[in-house]
Amino acid sequence: MEVCLVASICIAGHGQQSVDLVVSGGIVVTMDGARAIYQDGSVAVRGDAIVAVGPRADIEAKYKAANLMDARGRLVLPGFINGHTHVPMTLFRGLHDDVTLNEWLYKYIFPAEAKNVNEDFVRWGTRLAAAEQIRAGVTTFADMYYFEDAIAEETKKAGMRGVLGETFIDFPAPDNKSEAEMLAYTEKFLKRWQGDTLIHAAPAPHSIYTCSKKTLQDAAELARKYHAPILIHVAEMKKEWDDSEKTNGMSPVAYLDKIGILGPDMVAAHCIYVDEADRKLLAGKGVGCVHNPSSNMMIASGVSPVPEMRAGGVAVGLGTDGPAGSNNDLDLMEEIDLAAKLAKISKMDPLALNAKAAVEMATIDGARALHMEKEIGSLEAGKKADLILISLREPNAVPIYDVYAQIAYSLKGSDVETVVIGGRVVMRDHKLLTIDEPAVLQKAVEYGKWVKKSLGME
């Protein structure tokens, strides 16, 4: 017997409340303020939000689930947050590697983009990236590319959460050929997605080395008019720092501050060349930073001072970047592992960044870096129901002594079994439910052939 008092709250038998989903009996790693872990825990979900998290017995006594998901033998975690990527570039994955960034950009990627990138390309690339990211437990990603409105449509169809940045760059892009067009396109894009629960539209001025002061300021002004974040690459290579010192007489971070861009709505990818004064500015202004260890190593661009940034109060998330030319996959669990190891080897200190810190960067600190910590990043009542189940019934998953070490150093993206985003199950027992995976894989292979042909590689 069930009595509905108001539309959203029903009282079930024995004083129990009805909920849509209970994920039951897993090791629940909440990433909440106390970093609580429930060895035999459950999560209750109603609509797109978490209603309660706690010991299984408590949740079972209080809630009656329309849908019960057995999580025994699994870790239950907040979904991973990929803080920086360019999803349609999945279709350029492995196009040409092991070259300098300059050669890769000018000889391969810019010609490949000029000849191939259109709305259809972007849609198929986004579908491929959504499949890959969901499989690896990513529930939210931040993107910077072209035709971002089409990326938003595909992201929403896949049921993923996205902070999606339309690129501003001072040369004709595949979608918009002038700054006026970029501004008009982006304003329409921002208006369209206002208030959407999954999609956060944003302007993404590429960087200080590809955007004039005016382009940067116009993009920021537009972001602030619509309360959107600003996505940008910051201090990602030595040359950027050197040129900024020469031209602006200050570091890239100081320059962005001087021209009024730095603020609590900015998401800065990389932040490799940031000195102590820069780190103070980033922390003081509430800027979110995203560390991309695979990319930084693959392009040999440098080592971001992550431990120093964390110690200085900067919110530092994790990203895959790429996925072409600077990583080649979208597996955020690999970045957790590499973030810890890169910090350790670069300082010759195994204590430089520990497993727990690296897991924080992929979850709650990743949410802080995207300025979305009130919504996502931990399993807590009131937050969005973005959660993943990772199998502990794999040879690389047992035995388990320390949960964070297991996540960082032993488990793989492919161990992710089930993914829930905003209360919707998008992957169950390794089966994708929102994406026609065979069609996407076939199309990606076809695109590979067309791209090769367009560059005279066949």
Residues 201-240 vs Zn ion: string with x where CB under 5 A? ----------------------------------------
3-state class (DSSP) for residue 229: coil
**Binding to Zn ion by residue 321, rule CB under 5 A?**
yes
Least distance from Zn ion to the Cβ atom of residue 164, Å: 14
Q: Specify the residue, 43 or 271, whose C-beta has the smaller distance to Zn ion.
A: 271
The string of DSSP letters for 52-84 reads EEEEHHHHHHHEEEEEEEE-TTEEEEEPEEEEE
Least distance from Zn ion to the Cβ atom of residue 86, Å: 6
Least distance from Zn ion to the Cβ atom of residue 244, Å: 18
3-state class (DSSP) for residue 280: helix
Distance (Å, whole) CA 407 – CA 440? 29
Quick one: which segment of 41-49, 321-329, 371-379, 402-410 binds Zn ion (CB under 5 A)? 321-329
Q: Which two tokens stand for residue 187?
A: 């304003």
Q: What is the dihedral of CA 247, 253, 254, 258, to 10 degrees?
A: 90
Q: Specify the residue, 236 or 365, whose C-beta has the smaller distance to Zn ion.
A: 236
Q: Specify the residue, 140 or 406, whose C-beta has the smaller distance to Zn ion.
A: 140
Q: Specify the residue, 25 or 325, whose C-beta has the smaller distance to Zn ion.
A: 325
**Distances in Å between the alpha carbon of 78 and those of 46, 154, 313, 341, 424?**
16, 23, 22, 23, 14
Least distance from Zn ion to the Cβ atom of residue 233, Å: 6
Distance (Å, whole) CA 385 – CA 21? 10
> Amino acid identity of 103?
E
Question: Which DSSP state fits 225?
Answer: H
3-state class (DSSP) for residue 231: strand
Residues 254-273 vs Zn ion: string with x where CB under 5 A? --------------------
Q: Specify the residue, 143 or 257, whose C-beta has the smaller distance to Zn ion.
A: 143
**Distances in Å between the alpha carbon of 243 and those of 44, 58, 251, 255, 257?**
53, 59, 9, 11, 17
Q: Specify the residue, 288 or 422, whose C-beta has the smaller distance to Zn ion.
A: 288
Question: Which DSSP state fits 422?
Answer: T
Q: Specify the residue, 20 or 321, whose C-beta has the smaller distance to Zn ion.
A: 321
Least distance from Zn ion to the Cβ atom of residue 268, Å: 11
Position closest to Zn ion via CB? 321
Report how far apart the first and last C-alpha atoms of the chain are (Å, whole number). Answer: 68
Quick one: which segment of 15-23, 150-158, 313-321, 332-340 binds Zn ion (CB under 5 A)? 313-321
Quick one: which segment of 41-49, 105-113, 319-327, 417-425 binds Zn ion (CB under 5 A)? 319-327
Least distance from Zn ion to the Cβ atom of residue 170, Å: 17
Taking a C-beta distance cutoff of 8 angstroms, is the pair 65, 20 a contact?
Answer: yes
Residues in 358-387 that interact with Zn ion by CB under 5 A: none
Least distance from Zn ion to the Cβ atom of residue 236, Å: 8
Q: Specify the residue, 240 or 321, whose C-beta has the smaller distance to Zn ion.
A: 321
Distance (Å, whole) CA 11 – CA 22? 16
Cα 421-5-50 angle, rounded to 5 deg: 20
Taking a C-beta distance cutoff of 8 angstroms, is the pair 77, 362 a contact?
Answer: no
Q: Specify the residue, 215 or 327, whose C-beta has the smaller distance to Zn ion.
A: 327
Quick one: which segment of 112-120, 199-207, 251-259, 314-322 binds Zn ion (CB under 5 A)? 314-322
Least distance from Zn ion to the Cβ atom of residue 269, Å: 5
Residue entry with tokens 């300025």: 371
Q: Which two tokens stand for residue 141?
A: 């990603």
# binding residues, Zn ion (CB under 5 A): 1
Least distance from Zn ion to the Cβ atom of residue 240, Å: 13
Residues contributing to the site for Zn ion (CB under 5 A): 321
